[in-house]
């Protein structure tokens, strides 16, 4: 099972590549099909933002562990213009690109947790996680995964 993937987003077709990688990883982790579809869609939204607003960036996917669950962690990072007002960007219907204005808030709803770290002029780093099913007691997450604090 791949536990790490790195997809540079420079062109539009890279978005599909990141989305495919996310879907595969989520399904491998044992997420339900709908949940895996959520993760893939969220990654697609974040990657689209990198392409449209930041002039490119990176998507990193990794398997992470917390107590007795495994999850998928998505990091979208760019050195673009940054987000001036994060709260505004997370509100529905706000768009700077003539889009639908629900990509970022939508991604937040599709994932279990999402943090946005942005500085105007420096870039943006978005970290989002989706947790998989609870593992049986005898199958503790092993040390090969990065363990995330509660």
Partner 1 sequence: MTESTDFNLSHFIESHQDKLLESWMKGLLPEWRRKHPQSVDEDTLRRQSRQLLDGLAKLLAGQLTESWEPPLDHSITLLLRNLSSARVKQGYRAADIAHYLVTLKRVLIHALLQENLTGDLSRFGDLLATVEIATDSLTTLIYEIYAETRERIIAQQSLSLLELSTPVVRLWDRVVMVPLVGVIDTARARQVTERLLESIAKFEATVAIIDVTGVPILDTSVAGHLMKTIAAAQMLGARVVMTGISPDGAQTLVKLGVNFSEIPTRATLRAGVAEALLLVGKRILSIKEEQ
Residues that bind partner 1 (CB under 8 A): 12-13, 15-16, 19-20, 23, 33-34, 37-38, 40-41, 44-45, 48, 92, 99-100, 102-103, 105-106, 109-110
Say if strands 113-119 and 4-9 run parallel, antiparallel, or are unpaired: unpaired
Contacts of 34 (CB under 8 A, 6+ apart): none
Q: How many whole angstroms from its chain centre is CA 113? A: 10
Residue nearer to partner 1 on the CB measure, 29 or 65:
29
Closest distance to partner 1 from the beta carbon of 90 (Å):
12
Residue nearer to partner 1 on the CB measure, 80 or 103:
103
Closest distance to partner 1 from the beta carbon of 44 (Å):
4
Q: Is-contact 97 53, C-beta < 8 A?
A: yes
Closest distance to partner 1 from the beta carbon of 53 (Å):
12
Residue nearer to partner 1 on the CB measure, 93 or 136:
93
Residue found by looking up tokens 């562990």 in the block: 65
Residue 88 half-sphere exposure, CB side, CA atoms within 13 Å? 7
Token pair for 79? 């050195």
Residue nearer to partner 1 on the CB measure, 16 or 134:
16
């Amino acid at each position: 099972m791949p536990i790490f993937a790195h997809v540079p987003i420079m062109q539009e077709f890279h978005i599909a590549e990141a989305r495919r990688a996310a879907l595969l990883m989520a399904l491998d982790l044992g997420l339900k099909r709908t949940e895996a579809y959520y993760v893939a869609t969220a990654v697609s939204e974040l990657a689209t933002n990198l392409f449209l607003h930041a002039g490119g960036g990176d998507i990193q996917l990794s398997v992470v562990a917390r107590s007795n669950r495994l999850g998928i962690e998505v990091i979208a990072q760019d050195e673009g213009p940054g987000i001036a007002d994060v709260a505004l960007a997370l509100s529905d219907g706000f768009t700077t690109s003539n889009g639908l204005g629900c990509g970022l808030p939508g991604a937040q709803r599709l994932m279990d947790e999402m943090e946005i770290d942005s500085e105007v002029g420096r870039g943006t780093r978005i970290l989002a996680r989706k947790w998989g099913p609870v593992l049986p007691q005898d199958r503790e997450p092993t040390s090969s995964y990065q363990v995330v604090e509660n």
